[in-house]
Structure 1
Amino acid sequence: MPMERSNSSSGSSSNSSPSAAVSRRMRGSSASVVSIQCLKGSSKGDEWTGGMLQTGDIVEELQLGTTIHKAPFKNGGAGLQKLFHHAYKINSTSVHVRVRRGSDKFAELHACLVPNQAAGRKQYMLRSIDDPNYAVGFTDRFEEECLDLQGVK
């Protein structure tokens, strides 16, 4: 049976179409979220204690300088990259990020905003203040995928 592609970037509420129903079944009813993608590991082994951010953690809140941005983020990860680019241009590189694991656990990271040359122009990552070897990026995922990565049932 051929599958239809649905345009998930449109904000319309025409969820009654067959392609939208197929799309919902494929991904569940999970919402799209911005999540952490670990780029470089810690040299201290702290990432194994659960205190450090891990791939799949769901970003709940970012503080760039004195401005706080809460989820859901407009335009997801691309919107965050625009915020990061603006902050970097004005030398406001101090970032405090709060993430959620599962439904009731939280972790935080105080980091410095730095360009991510490997990802291309105008792409940024966070480098931990406590451990400069530890770096994380951001990616759009479905919440269900994040919970799978976290090992939460």
Structure 2
Amino acid sequence: MDRSPPFSSSSSDSSQFSSTSSSPAKSTRVVLSIECLKGSSKADEWTGDMLQTGDIVEELRIGNMIVKSPFKNGKSGIQKILHGSFKQKETSIRVRVRRGSDELAELQACIVPGDQFVGRKHYVLRAIDDPNYAVGFIDRTESECLDLQGQKLNISLVDFSMLDI
């Protein structure tokens, strides 16, 4: 009998977003991804690089609650968790994301109501020390995320190649 914690992931877990085949291709698996909404250059509370659109969310920590990927019901499930936490005035959150296969980054932020969808309970995360930096969540396939990450890597490589070192 499997005794893994309710929010842990394992290779045998299946997501409702997986394709209907018995062994879905990794690139078609739907994951929770970061969507940058606003940004600036200040980000003291980040470890590693700034989170970017396309980063794959691996874990959320709100108070004593830890929620790990795969996230039940994706973005809508996370929005319900954020809504419940906001109502309970538990707005401090730590988000851990993955880039590629092994690079991790983390953000400590606050849960705030989003101003994009009037009349809808929609929540975003604002960086603690930089209220101009906000991220949201979106469901994407893993291959879409990796493509977005690859585009940013290619841009960075081009920028470095222009330097006379």
What's the TM-score once normalised by structure 1's chain length?
0.77
Residue number in structure 2 paired with 1:69 = 67
The answer to whether the Cα contact below 8 Å between 2:36 and 2:135 also exists between their aligned partners in 1 is yes
**Secondary structure of the equivalent of 2:51?**
coil
In structure 1, list runs of 5 or more residues that go unmatched. Answer: 1-9, 17-23
- Counterpart in 1 of 2:117? 119
Equivalent residue number for residue 139 of structure 1: 138
Whether the 8 Å contact between 1:32 and 1:140 is mirrored in structure 2 is: yes
Aligned length: 134
Residue 11 of structure 2 corresponds to: none
> Which range is displaced more, 112-121 or 31-40?
112-121
Distance 1:109 1:11, change over 3 A: closer
Residue identity opposite 2:126 in structure 1: R
Deviation of the 1:42 alpha carbon: 1.6
Residues 55, 11 of structure 1: CA spacing in aligned structure 2 closer, same or farther, 3 A cutoff? closer
Match for residue 52 of structure 2 among 26, 51, 54? 54
SS across alignment from 1:146: helix
Equivalent residues in 2 for 1:6-17 (5 A)? 15=21
Moved more, 140-149 or 113-122: 113-122
* 1:25-81 Cα shifts (integer Å, max 9, x gaps): xx98521000000000124388xxx62110000000000111000000000000000
State percent identity of aligned pairs.
62
Superposed CA RMSD in Å reads 2.9
